Amino acid sequence: MLKRVRRHRRRPMSDINVVPYIDVMLVLLVIFMVTAPLITQGVKVNLPQAKAGGIPSPTVESVIITVDQFGDYYIDIGEDKHQPATERIIAERVRTVLEYKPETPILVRADKEVPYEKVLWAMVAAQYAGATNVGLITAPPLRAAP
């Protein structure tokens, strides 16, 4: 007599294998951890969008931070305007001005020979003090005589 061969059907598996998803998630986590510090660093500067001419004069008196050719900082508020100031002094004075007049524009003027890093530190000191917009003062280019 022939034996009956019984085949057992396997039931469909209803579990989802999540191991590949966890691997992808961990790779994305590492990517975001590496790139996040790069995104958050920087100094915001609002540049004028005019094609010709300068920006209009502000209606409120502005605070001007100057960086001379030697890299020394000066700020035009306080008793000792003509004495070099540190980033800390700049931050304290800008914070004091912004407490009383938050709409005061903060501007940075620098000699063209000074390294850009010195200009950047002046802008960072102003932002540390609470300035949301820091502008740069430039001179219009000299025109050659016709």
pLDDT at 105: 87
Q: What is the pLDDT of residues 11-27, one digit of tens each?
A: 777 778 888 889 999 99
pLDDT at 26: 94
Q: How confident is the model at residue 42 (pLDDT cuts 50, 70, 90)?
A: very low
Query: What is the mean predicted confidence (pLDDT) over 49-58?
Result: 50
Q: What is the pLDDT of residues 72-124, one digit of tens each?
A: 898 888 777 778 888 898 899 999 999 988 888 888 888 878 888 888 898 99
pLDDT at 29: 93
One-character DSSP codes across the chain: -PPPPPPPPPPPP-----HHHHHHHHHHHHHHHHHHHHHH----------SSS-PPPPSSPPEEEEE-TTS-EEESSSS-TTS-B-HHHHHHHHHHHHHH-TT--EEEEE-TTS-HHHHHHHHHHHHHTT-S-EEEE-PPPPPPP-
pLDDT at 3: 63
Average pLDDT, the chain: 77
Q: How confident is the model at residue 132 (pLDDT cuts 50, 70, 90)?
A: confident
pLDDT at 57: 59
